[in-house]
A = this chain, B = another copy of it.
């Protein structure tokens, strides 16, 4: 290991490092991937039998590490040391349908391995650890469910949320035997910070040749369904000038809005027209209705608002030009989350201690850290994704990057335990 030349944070180099066991880490990660294995990927939908079996196993591993561990009333698995003040390390162990083996699972196993090292290496001080695998981050019932429960952001109506099998959350909790259990609650006196490690799920680290990323902010998200309504005329007999073509309006809008985002967004802005529906959808009928699913993301709320403000004037101009009407329905409005600079600095310093220069970057995807950051200083570490692939069975990372990330994360945790 090469010591970084000049850490940008005041570092106490006398702090004993936590050393993780790479083989044990990889063993646990591979074992967890067997729950719901689909080829090289995993299908582990929140609160289903497979997810609950994995959570029972995680509980066992936490207890084996010497932690006081439980599963709470929403499905969060947690294990903690006996300290009155604790750093929370966590992510989630549920997956999207036929998802990847790393995604949230890596961050959970990082937590367990770091807790094991913490217990074994008898780290002194009065700050301990609390490891959490949050429930239903992927929104099988409701996105970021476990962390929103932890931070008190849920109301009772969430129990009516329905998964892809038509099961309500309330019914799923009953099936999983979780009804009546207390729900873990965030307490600012106890929980001093939140740290989440995650695969990047994008191509940026790989493209830049960086082995670890430190997240600066999690992009906010705005999403809409934009609907254009024209008239279903015969595509042979109706002159172009007499048509009200909703499909042509949609395509025109898509192009103009992309140009607008290019001109008015930041270098981190991204946008996506993920779905299009044309009705009636026949070759010989002018589309009467066209629906566009549009999202924009940026780490800055101001940029997000500026891009969102483009929708109406562009849609109106396009609708006028094509003699159609338009309307929109809001799909999402998630505020960006800034990461804590002090915590970021600790992770950066830890990376440099291990000889790598971290890349500072925003996260385009949402994470439990997005919820946590509204309540407590929060930071995230990213591990490169091979080819940027994620949410798919092809998702993977280089084992050397996974273990290096864990060691850097452990380094940061051990320093924070002394410094907080």
Contact = CB atoms under 8 A, between A and B. Distances in A.
Interface string A141-160: 00000000000000000000
Nearest to A274: B283
B276 A234 contact: no
8 contacts: A202-B234, A203-B242, A233-B388, A235-B272, A240-B270, A255-B255, A272-B285, A283-B332
Contacts of A357: none
Interface in A226-241: 232-240
B270 A281 contact: no
A29 to B, nearest CB: 21
A258 interface: yes
Given A234-B365, A255-B255, A390-B234, A239 B275 contact: no
A388 B237 CA distance: 8
Interface string A237-279: 1111010010110111011001000100000011111111110
A121 interface: no
Copies of this protein in the assembly total 2
Interface in A269-306: 269-278, 281-287, 293, 295, 297
A11 interface: no
A159 B295 CA distance: 49
A223 interface: yes
Contact of A281 (B204, B233, B274, B283): B274
A279 to B, nearest CB: 9
A228 to B, nearest CB: 12
A258 to B, nearest CB: 6
Interface centre among A232, A332, A365 (most CB of B within 10 A): A365
Given A234-B390, A235-B295, A275 B282 contact: yes
A274 B247 CA distance: 7
Contacts of A95: none
Interface string A183-213: 0000000000000000011111001000000
Nearest to A270: B240
A281 to B, nearest CB: 4
